Structure 1
Amino acid sequence: MGGNSSKPQEPPKSVHPPPIKPWRAIVFNNSNYTSLQKEAAEHKPHPKASTTNILLVGPVGSGKSSFVNSVLSEIGNDEFHNRVRYAAMTRVNAGGTVTRHLRCHIHKNIKIFDTAGWDTENHFITTLRFEQIIDGEVPADTKFSDISTNNTTVNGARIHCVVFVMSAHSFDSEDSSLLNALEGFIGVLTNKELPYLLLITSIDTETDDLENVYKKADVKIKVEAISNRLKISMCNVMVVSNYFQELKIDCIKGTLLLDAFGQMLMAAKHFQERM
């Protein structure tokens, strides 16, 4: 009998890029997650400081306020019964900064200062205003437009660590003058010997796959691009995915958030020791 006796060809298998060697080791399990929560919630500043003060700086829409909400939800999970706390105001596609004042969010002896998006119309004045905030010359709840670069007070909190917040979504489209200004501001921090870290938010990764975020080649390429542009060492760069629409905190997402926050607290404490 005639006919084609050859076996039908199998469809080609999908090709996945090989995983890269993890460039940061983070343990994702309930034990480590609980330990990170406890470490942050029970943080104590160096005896030279009464509180640990962290300042968030970045362009509009970078995720500063969302990070505040995310971290406060994690370290206050006992009080809020594992629910996400939206203490800092956020909006979708607001078209401008939502935070217009220097907002201070407090958990025990930790103060997180949320700020207005970097003013791209006057980088020089913006830099001077942030420098005053760092030096403790601006009280909390002061409106940014009311911060005078001529008058100083001593009513503010001295900052112990500055965190630059950049969105992975918008970095490629950021104004080069803004990036130059941020780079110049880093020079100011270097002169003050003040620690600074880079926080990259809004990583496009499903929550179930976030534990592999430091194994993904595309994430590393993005992180390296931002790190190189701002001349910040990769060891001082952290990647997170903020809570934005969730109602409950999550172990995987929370581990990344708490690991990043722990780095901030450690950097601040080292600075406090040198004060």
Structure 2
Amino acid sequence: MTFNSRLDPETEKKLLKLFDLNVNFRLLYKGSHFNFDIRKLFQICSDQGSFILTVYFGKHIFGGFLKKSLPRSNEQVKDEDAFVFSLYDSDSTATRFSVNEGHHAFHRTYSSISFGDCLKVAASDREFHVNLCSTYDFNWPEWDWEKQLCEEVELHRVQAGDLLPGPWRGLPWIETNRDELRKDLVSYEPPIVGLTQVRVLLLGPVGAGKSSFISSIKSALYGNVVNLPSIGAKPDGIIKKLKSYPIRAEKGGQPIALTLCDVRDMGDSEETGLSLHDALAVINGHAPEGYKFQSGMPINPSSAGYCLDPGLQDKIHCVVFVLNARSLHSYGESLVKMIKKYRREISDLDVPQLVLLTHVDEMCHAVNTDVRYVYTSRIVQKKVQEAASLADVPVSFVLPVKNYMSELTVNRDTDILIFSAVRQILHAIDDTFEA
């Protein structure tokens, strides 16, 4: 069950002006939704980053901001950036006062939270009461503020620049869209007569998430999380063999028209990872299933199973470079040059190329909490731009995804993001065939 903030857009804008930086609010807790249970507030909101507490009395809104996280235990917090504020109806401006009393900027007990000596919100019998001091000229209404009953209490996480006012890519986060994307994938047919399967090759460095993406597609289709065994891999999980994964709509069912292929990881050089020669051999359909890649021993016509005259069904129809959003800045110059070199050589084969950007949920707190923020996240947008520059592709060719990693059950919105990435891959193949 969802719940909405009592803040209207105009009032929210006034509160946002209290901050020196560009920030957004994300509602974590609403008192009336949780029966004014302060234990639930502590459970949900602790260790969630900077936050703003808002307390409502008719047209009056006041509260406090803490740059640090709400602590999990009863303790006092030192925070020179903490402040309290007051706002009376949408026609006025918000007033802000610093709370800079050293360690007493914020204090939490088992039943209350306080911003210095300025504002205290305490809970009892599923009600919130507030005590205010008159030390500062807050323009408080002339009421008896001794344990005044609050109409509503909300806690918002303050996300410093994490979210944009609107999405930079549109994607409907609804069940019908998930169903349509799944149906389109399951019913997909290649646009070339006689071709029953399109083969997509995943290329990327160690830890990029190639195998996890394959598992995630299967999980989204099956409705339960699938963990693939490390077939063709060493004990450290590094793929050494060419392994094809036919995709099925359901466990035990017939393969659909999509096969994903995994190969040896890319390295900083031809000697430490998949060589360009071997990559092109796979793309051109010469490498047999299960072929073991070996440094210094490129595949050649005398290799066992080598296909001298591959047909269209043996070749790769799209190459997807898989990059880890967490590692973009740590990829060495040699690896980046390798990726761009591969890109240039593959372009000469008229094979479409895309970039899959994984682990984006670990880059942005908002996306980690709710994947629907992926195309509103300023951080993810920047990472997509960085990945596009690294691989030398247009930004529209970069597809951010969240793989199933630690989850035990599938999620509608994660499925939608995964299915939409697969749809773009299939569209790229269709566009190339029809060109």
Q: TM-score range by the shorter chain?
A: 0.7 to 0.9
Q: Which residue of the partner structure matches residue 171 of structure 1?
A: 328
Unaligned runs of 5+ in 1: none
Change (3 A) 1:8 1:253: farther
User: Which amino acid in structure 2 is aligned with residue 243 of structure 1?
Assistant: Y
Matched, 1:105 2:253: no
Whose strand fraction is larger, Structure 1's or Structure 2's? 2
Which residue number corresponds to residue 223 of structure 1? 384
Letter in 2 for 1:138: A
Structure 1 segments of 4+ aligned residues over 6 angstroms from their partners: none
Distance (whole Å) between structure 2 residues aligned to residue 34 and residue 16 of structure 1 = 35
How much does 1:249 deviate? 1.4
Distance between the aligned counterparts of 1:207 and 1:5, measured in 2? 41
- Map of 1:85 onto structure 2: 226
Partner of 1:28 in structure 2?
173
More helix by share: 1
Deviations 1:26-62 (A, max 9, x none): 1101110111111112211123322111000000110
For residue 215 of structure 1, give the secondary structure of its aligned residue in structure 2.
Answer: coil
The equivalent of 1:118 in structure 2 is 266
Judged with a 3 Å threshold, the aligned counterparts in structure 2 of structure 1 residues 8 and 117 are, in CA distance, closer, same or farther, namely farther
> In 2, distance between residues paired with 1:225 and 1:240?
15
Match in the other structure for 1:261: 422
- The more displaced of 121-130 and 253-262 is 121-130
TM-score, length of structure 1 as denominator length: 0.86
Q: Does 1:135 find its partner at 2:292?
A: no
Aligned to 1:232: 393
Q: Give identity over the alignment, percent.
A: 25
- The within-5 A match list for 1:201-216 is 201-203=358-360, 204=362, 205=364, 206-216=367-377
Rounded Cα–Cα distance in structure 2 between residues aligned with 1:182 and 1:95: 26
Q: Following TM superposition, by how much is the alpha carbon of 1:95 offset from its aligned partner in structure 2, in angstroms?
A: 9.5
SS of 1:113's equivalent?
strand
Deviates further, 152-161 or 193-202: 152-161
* CA drift at 1:139: 1.3
Matches within 5 A, 1:242-261: 242-261=403-422
Shift in Å at residue 148 of structure 1? 3.2
Structure 2 unaligned residues grouped into runs of 5+: 1-132, 141-156, 248-254
> For 1:121-155, what per-residue CA distance to the aligned partner results, in whole angstroms no more than 9, with x for missing partners?
42697111000000000111111228734325246
Asked if structure 2 preserves the Cα contact closer than 8 Å seen for 1:98 and 1:116, the reply is yes
128-137 vs 106-115, which moves further = 106-115
Distance 1:249 1:71 in 2: 11
Amino acid at match of 2:315: R
Distance 1:87 1:169 in 2: 23
Rg larger for: 2
Number of aligned residues: 261
Normalised by the size of structure 2, how large is the TM-score?
Answer: 0.55
After TM superposition, give the deviation of residue 87 of structure 1 in Å: 2.5
Shift of 1:178: 0.8
Q: Which of 184, 197, 203 is matched with 1:51 structurally? A: 197
Aligned match of 2:214: 68
Q: CA RMSD in A?
A: 2.6
CA shift for structure 1 position 223: 1.3
Residues 1:153 and 2:310 aligned together: no
Q: Distance between the aligned counterparts of 1:27 and 1:66, measured in 2?
A: 24
